[in-house]
Amino acid sequence: MNTKVDTEVIKEPSMLKQKDMIAGNYDRLTSTRESGEKIVSTFVPGNLNELIMCFDMVNNLPETNAIQNGLRKQSGAMIMDAEKSGHSEDVCTYVKADIGMMGRGNIAPNGKPMPAPDMLLLSYTGCFTFMKWFELLRHEYKCPTVMLQIPYQGDGKITKNMRDFVVKQLKEEVIPMFEQVSGVKFDIDRLREYLKNSAKAEDDLVWVLESGKNKPSPIDAYFGGVYYIGPIFTAFRGTEDAVEYYGLLRKEVEERLAAGKGPITPEGDLQGEKYRLVVEGPPNWTSFREFWKLFYDEGAVVVASSYTKVGGLYDQGFRHDPNDPLGTLADYCLGCYTNNNLPQRVELLEKYINDYQADGLLINSIKSCNSFSAGQLLMMREIEKRTGKPAAFIETDLVDPRYFSHANVKNRLESYFQMIDQKRSGASLAAA
C-alpha cells in the first residue's frame, strides 16, 4: 500500500485558536449567573449569531452540546436516561442526548453546570424535529420562546414572498422578543458591523473548502471539515475571533497546498491520496476517530461534503450582506442545506462530484434522523445515473453508540473502495 501517515501529531495554530474559542464560550455560558449575561438556545441551521450578539446574549447550541458529549463518549448513557424517561428508541439521538444531559444536571464540557436558557430561538429550517425538541425545552424551562418560520424550498427556489415573510417575522416577533428578554435596544448598525465580519470569515472558509479541488487535496472536507465549520456554524459568526480563525486556517491550508501535503489526520499527514469522495450526511460522533481511520487507512479523502453546508451554503455564492442586514439573514436561513429540497440536494452533490473530480458518492445515512435520511437512496441512484460514478450507502447514527457497527461499516467501505478500483481498471479487469 502506498498510503502512509506520519505519526507525529502537531496542533496547528488554528486548532489551538478554535479550542480556546469553544472553551471561552462554555465558560461564558456557565458563568452567566455571576456575569448577569442572558443565554439564548438555538440551532446550527438558521443560527442568527450576529443578531444574538446585538443583544449581548450568549449563544447555546444544544446540537453541539450533544456532539461534544458524543465525542467524549458521554452520550450513550444520556440517551439511555432519556429512553427511561419515555423517549422512544427511534427519536433523534441529539434530542435524547440533550434531554439526558439535562437530567444529569446539564453539565457543560468544562465540568460546570449550564444555567437554564433565558430564551429559546427556533429557526425552523427544514428539520421538523427541532420544533418538537424546543417544545420539550419550553416545557422544561418555561422561558420565552420565539419561532422563526422559514418556508421550505419545496420548489427549489427562494421567492420574494418567502423572503419578505422571514424579514417581517424578524422585525415583528424575533427582534422585539430579544429586546424584551435582554433589555438591549436593537441597533441595526451594530448588526451591519458583525455582518461585515461574517462575510470576511466566509470568504476564507470558502477558499479552504474549495482547496479540496486540488489533487491531492490538502484538506479532508468531512473529517477535517467538521472542525473548519466549527466557529462559523456556532457562537462565533460575526466575531473578530472568527475572522482571525479563518485567516489562520487559510494560511495553514495555503502552506499545505504549496508543500503538496495531504490532509491532516489524527496520525499525521495523509500521504498518497487514493480515493476522492463526496459524502452526504453527518459523521458518526461516538466513534468519530475509528470512523475516520477507516478512510485514511485506505487513502480515502473526502473532497467535498454536504454536512459542512448545513449551517450555510457559502461555497454556492451566498455571503452575509451588511447592506441588507435583515434581508441577508432571511436569505441565509432560507438557503441552508437543510432547507433545500431533494432535487437541489441531488444537483449540489452532482456538482461536487464533477467540480472536485471525485471518484464517487458515499452516503452516511443516520438511523435516527427521519428528516434527512428520507429520500437518500433515491438521491444516490439519481446521482449514480447522472455521473456514472459508483456510490455507496452506509448507516450509522449521530450520537448513539449502539448504532455504529465497526465490522459492518468497514466491510462496506472496503467493498466500496475496491469497487472504485475495479471501475477504474474497468476493461483490463474484464472477464476473459
Verify binding: residue 403, another protein, rule CB under 8 A: yes
Nearest to 247 by CA among 18, 50, 58: 18
User: Is the separation of the CB atoms in 148 and 124 below 8 Å?
Assistant: yes
Residue closer to another protein by CB (options 43, 403) is 403
Separation CA 120–CA 57 (nearest Å):
12
Contact call for residue 168 and another protein (CB under 8 A): no
Task: In whole angstroms, give the CA distance from residue 413 to residue 344.
Answer: 26
For the bound state, the minimum distance from the C-beta of residue 153 to another protein, rounded and expressed in Å, comes to 27
With respect to another protein, which residue has the nearer C-beta, 252 or 397?
Answer: 397
Interface stretch with another protein, choices 138-146, 189-197, 276-284, 410-418 (CB under 8 A): 410-418
Q: Which of 356, 367, 369, 379 lies at the binding interface for another protein (CB under 8 A)?
A: 367
Which of 63, 204, 395, 400 touches another protein by CB under 8 A? 395
Stretch that binds another protein, among 101-109, 191-199, 333-341, 424-432 (CB under 8 A): 424-432
Closest CA to 395 of 380, 223, 16, 384: 380
Calculate the CA dihedral of residues 49, 51, 55, 58 and round it to 10 degrees: -10
Q: Please tell me whether residue 412 binds another protein under the rule CB under 8 A.
A: yes
Stretch that binds another protein, among 29-37, 200-208, 323-331, 421-429 (CB under 8 A): 421-429
Measured from the Cβ of residue 15, the count of other Cβ atoms closer than 10 Å reads: 16
User: Could you say which of 88, 161, 323, 428 contacts another protein (CB under 8 A)?
Assistant: 428
Q: Work out which of 108, 391, 398, 399 binds another protein, going by CB under 8 A.
A: 391
Q: Pick the closer one to another protein by CB: 209 or 277.
A: 277
C-beta closer to another protein: residue 3 or 149: 3
In angstroms, what is the minimal distance from the CB of 419 to another protein? 5
- Measured from the CB of residue 401, what is the shortest distance to another protein in angstroms? 12
Q: Which stretch binds another protein (CB under 8 A): 90-98, 130-138, 229-237, 390-398?
A: 390-398
Question: Closest CB to another protein among 105 and 426?
Answer: 426
What cell numbers appear for 208 in the block? 479552504
- By beta-carbon proximity to another protein, the closer residue of 35 and 422 is 422
Q: Are 394 and 365 in contact (CB under 8 A)?
A: yes
The reply to whether 386 sits near another protein by the rule CB under 8 A is no
Beta strand pairing status for 275-280 and 145-149? unpaired
Q: Are 156 and 341 in contact (CB under 8 A)?
A: yes
> Pick from 24, 144, 151, 390: which binds another protein (CB under 8 A)?
390
CA angle (238, 239, 240) in 5-degree steps: 130
| 88 touches another protein (CB under 8 A) | no
Q: Which stretch binds another protein (CB under 8 A): 202-210, 333-341, 350-358, 423-431?
A: 423-431
Cα–Cα nearest to 399, from 288, 297, 292, 321: 288
Query: Per rule CB under 8 A, is residue 429 in the interface with another protein?
Result: yes
415 binds another protein (CB under 8 A): yes
Closest approach, Cβ 365 to another protein, in A, equals: 10
381 binds another protein (CB under 8 A): yes
Least Å from the CB of residue 160 to another protein: 41
Spatial contact of 342 and 375, defined as CB atoms under 8 Å apart = yes
Q: What residues line the site for another protein (CB under 8 A)?
A: 1, 367, 377, 381, 384, 390-395, 403, 405, 407-408, 411-412, 414-415, 418-419, 422-423, 426-432
